[in-house]
Amino acid sequence: DAGITQSPRHKVTETGTPVTLRCHQTENHRYMYWYRQDPGHGLRLIHYSYGVKDTDKGEVSDGYSVSRSKTEDFLLTLESATSSQTSVYFCAIRRGDSPQEKLFFGSGTQLSVL
Amino acid sequence: GQSLEQPSEVTAVEGAIVQINCTYQTSGFYGLSWYQQHDGGAPTFLSYNGLDGLEETGRFSSFLSRSDSYGYLLLQELQMKDSASYFCAHALYSSYKLIFGSGTRLLVRP
């Protein structure tokens, strides 16, 4: 347990509705990441943050936005969910004294868009 | 792009040694890392090669050769609990983005 909590753990929603996933960390680390995982695609980076209000796009950012108003929280928002966004979403952190290749992951959020 | 290529599946026998390869077309990255993920679980960090050569951590070893654009994860004395997916990953210089390969599913048979 790296002090990362993702909520909710499971979510079922309908196409066109907004959805926000939350990642909360207890250790004040600067770098936070959102990944999605789908069969055959491994882990794909959606957005990441390198500080409060500092965020940038990853490989698959279309249809997603993020916000980081506090060090401990990194929010991922699907403005209008689509079935293609059905996936498992993982949040990750990088500890300050670790190389950027060493991330610690939360337990994930299973999102189903019907 | 930053693609990393891995075999999709590998099968091995309990007690044996297995090597999972990772090839890439990217230059200018810091190092190569490996992660393990059991079904239904989160990825967990296994090892990191910041320099060329072999890194050993217990039954697991990882190797990197930048000149060959190639790395591998070596698992020795395989146990049933090693059945999982394994991912290689790297990040480019001046980037905070850690990019993953598509993963190798390892099945350990009795």
Q: Which residue of A has its CA nearest to B7?
A: A40
Q: What pLDDT, on the 0 to 100 scale, is given for residue A97?
A: 73
Single-letter amino acid code for the residue at A3: G
Taking alpha carbons only, the member of B3, B9, B6, B1 closest to residue B107 is: B9
Query: Averaged over A73-95, what is the pLDDT?
Result: 96
Give the chain B residue whose CA is nearest to the CA of A48.
Answer: B97
Among residues of chain B, what percentage have pLDDT more than 70? Answer: 96
3-state secondary structure A93-112: EECCCCCCCCCEECCCEEEE
Nearest to B90 among A35, A43, A101 (CB): A101
For residue B2, what pLDDT is reported? 61
Task: Assess contact for A93 and A2: CB atoms under 8 A.
Answer: yes
> Which chain A residue's Cα is nearest to B90?
A101
Q: What tokens appear for B106 in the block?
A: 């390892």
Which letter does DSSP use for residue A62 in this model? T
End-to-end distance of chain A based on CA atoms, in angstroms? 31
Binary contact (B97, A105; C-beta < 8 A): no
**Is the pLDDT score of A75 beyond 80?**
yes
Higher-confidence position of A102 and B35: B35
| CB count in 10 Å sphere of residue B73 | 26
Kindly list the distances between the CA atom of residue A100 and the CA atoms of A31, A50, A87, B14, in Å, as whole numbers in the listed order: 9, 11, 25, 33
Q: How far is A88 from chain B (nearest CA, A)?
A: 10
| Contact list, B100 vs chain A (CB under 8 Å) | 35, 42-44
Closest of B78, B72, B79, B60 to residue B16, by C-alpha: B78
Q: Which of B32, B48, B102 sits opposite A41 (nearest CB)?
A: B102
Q: In which band, very low, low, confident or very high, does the pLDDT at A25 lie, cut at 50, 70 and 90?
A: very high
Q: What is the mean pLDDT of residues B27-39?
A: 88
Shortest Cα–Cα distance, A40 to chain B (Å):
6
Cα separation, A78 vs A55, in Å, equals 16
Give residue-wise pLDDT tens across range A26-69. 988 999 999 999 987 789 999 999 999 999 999 899 999 999 99
Asked if A99 lies within 8 A of B50 by C-beta distance, the reply is yes
Q: Which residues of B touch A66 (CB under 8 A)?
A: none
Average pLDDT over every residue of B53-59: 93
Count chain A–chain B contacts defined by CB atoms under 8 A.
Answer: 62
Residue A1, pLDDT score: 55
pLDDT of residue A17: 96
Radius of gyration in angstroms for the set of CA atoms belonging to chain A, rounded to a whole number: 13
Count other C-beta atoms under 10 Å from residue B31's C-beta.
Answer: 21
